[in-house]
Chains A and B, each alone.
Chain A
Amino acid sequence: MKIEENKAILWTGDNPLELESGGSIGPVEVSYETYGNLNEDKSNAVLVLHAFSGSAYAAGHKKKEDKPGWWDSIIGAKKAFDTDKYFVICSNVLGGCSGTTGPSSIDPRTDKPYGLNFPSITINDMVEVQKRLVDNLGIKRLLSVSGGSMGGMQALAWMVKYPDSINSAIVIAASHRHSPQQIAFHEVGRQAIMADPDWNGGNYYDKSVPAKGLAIARMVGHITYMSEQSMEEKFGRQRKDKGQPFKFNADFEVEHYLRYRGDSFVKRFDANSYLYISKAMDQFDASKGKTLESALKGHKYKTMVISFNSDWLYPSHHSKEIVKACKRAGVDVTYCDIDSKYGHDAFLLETEDQEHLIKHFLDKVRKDL
């Protein structure tokens, strides 16, 4: 599999990106990776869209990294996103902290990191950046856009915003707008970060980072990504660190796991990015107050919607809402509610089922071109 790591400056300080909020930002630099080869007529490109804490590193296994790319299980030669057939693109989102312009980037006006001077961003702004990247690569129409969780929300944004630039969309474990429960969990995360004195109004880049707050935010996140059953099977009531002197040690396995996950997240993720991106997700409404049906009406692409029956954060009935809107709008849609015990995490773990569905779906899309 041919892998390329790239950077592109898509907007400059003089010609900034106009944002949905009314603000603007420039320059905008994007970190992206590509897998496989773009064919001659540029008709085999698939854009994969990462979730909240993901990055452009979607496939392969780099020497400098501990783990393979976040969707390596289904991107590669002979896999669902078969790099022998497709040219797979993944870019880090606007507002992120893995190479694309975000709150930790240097503000050219001050030569310091933006911090809270970074403008508010939305899922649609992220898609705007992806669209220009795709345009710059000379691709007029993507074979597919695909992603899970926040990636699924971006896929929906593509379906509404750029219907003529895609042949298909795969929306996995996503919602077309967040429920109060989803917003509530994000708010707990944001409050944990902002309550950390080290956060310092978002201005911490030359000091110590708000590690405690960000770690707690991540711990909450991980709870919402698992099902009761998967926690039971993974941890039970097993104990760790017996007989330590302090009363509130992480003596249960689950506590230990959450602390470990929280601490390792701090090493790779920026607290301000957490605030900006989580807010973008909460404010997302694919059809902007109209019915989703009316926003999808008349579009010719094919759609596949996938949910997992133990996912309580992005529950199956949210996916069914999307499917219903597609049906009523006359958009070609296939829906599968995969039987899984892993909760929301299933979209990264239930690879065998997704592999089958995605592979055949893309085959059909390609044949119908």
Chain B
Amino acid sequence: MRDWSKIKPDHRAILENVDARSSALDLGCGSGELMEILSEEKSVKVQGIEIDEKEIRRCVAKGLSVFHGDIDTGLSEFSDSAFDYVILNQTIQQVKNIATVMSEAARVGRTVIVGIPNFAHYIARLQLFFLGSAPVTRSLPYKWDETPNIRSLSLKDFREFCAEQGFRIDKEFFLSGKRRAAVLPNLLADTGIFFLSKRG
């Protein structure tokens, strides 16, 4: 067992809120860090989809099951409710057809877990206002010309998106570094984690 206090805050929020021995699909799983934690700490049966071959190699080195491919097309191959959870952690800001991917994720998984960096975090706001530059923060660490993100969104934007698209927010966690941001999350949280399910 690892020391949970050393786990990245977003990973920890997810780890603490998934059921042991459940199944999960991690979209844009990167090097498989979260998958490894879920598998080892809660025996979650987890698979990943990742576009980058170098990351696939890292996942395989950890003994994880991964598919090399893009998220936009990789989801359609799974049957309905194939997983307890479909995870998009730090992924949707890089996805092209977000509404399609979200609705596919809700078809394939009973719960959709989304983790996003908050573009409206107060430090980002201050940088934009006082420095006049595109923000570079803890959760948005890239300069504008190096970022893989194709969209910038705030926690408020995402909640509105969920309402429009018919997603119910079952749980939400707002993180400010290692702490929880209990008040004014759209201002004080750098990251949001949402547990969603489709209405009806």
Which A residues lie at the B interface, using CB under 8 A? 302, 320, 323-324, 327-328, 332-339, 353, 356-357, 360-361, 363-364, 367
Contact = CB atoms under 8 A, between A and B. Distances in A.
Contacts of B69: 320, 335, 337
B50 to A, nearest CB: 10
Interface string B46-88: 0100000100110111111111110000000111000000000
A277 B69 CA distance: 33
B68 A337 contact: yes
A367 B77 contact: no
Contacts of B56: 336
Contact of B57 (A356, A363, A364): A356
Contacts of A302: 65
7 contacts: A323-B67, A328-B77, A332-B65, A334-B65, A336-B57, A357-B60, A360-B61
B60 A328 contact: no
Contact of B61 (A328, A335, A356): A356
Interface of B: 47, 53, 56-57, 59-69, 77-79
Contacts of A357: 57, 60
B152 to A, nearest CB: 30
Most A-side CB within 10 Å, residue of B47, B61, B65? B65
Most A-side CB within 10 Å, residue of B47, B77, B78? B77
Main secondary structure of the interface of B (DSSP, over half): mixed
A311 B14 CA distance: 40
Contact of A328 (B57, B59, B78): B78
Given A324-B77, A335-B68, A335-B69, A367 B60 contact: no
B65 A333 contact: yes
Given A327-B77, A328-B79, A334 B57 contact: no
Most B-side CB within 10 Å, residue of A323, A333, A334? A334
B60 A360 contact: yes
B78 A336 contact: no
A74 to B, nearest CB: 15
B53 A337 contact: yes
Nearest to A338: B53
A361 B57 CA distance: 10
A332 B47 CA distance: 9
B63 A327 contact: no
Given A332-B47, A357-B57, A367-B63, 5 more contacts: A333-B65, A333-B67, A334-B65, A335-B68, A353-B57
A335 B66 contact: yes
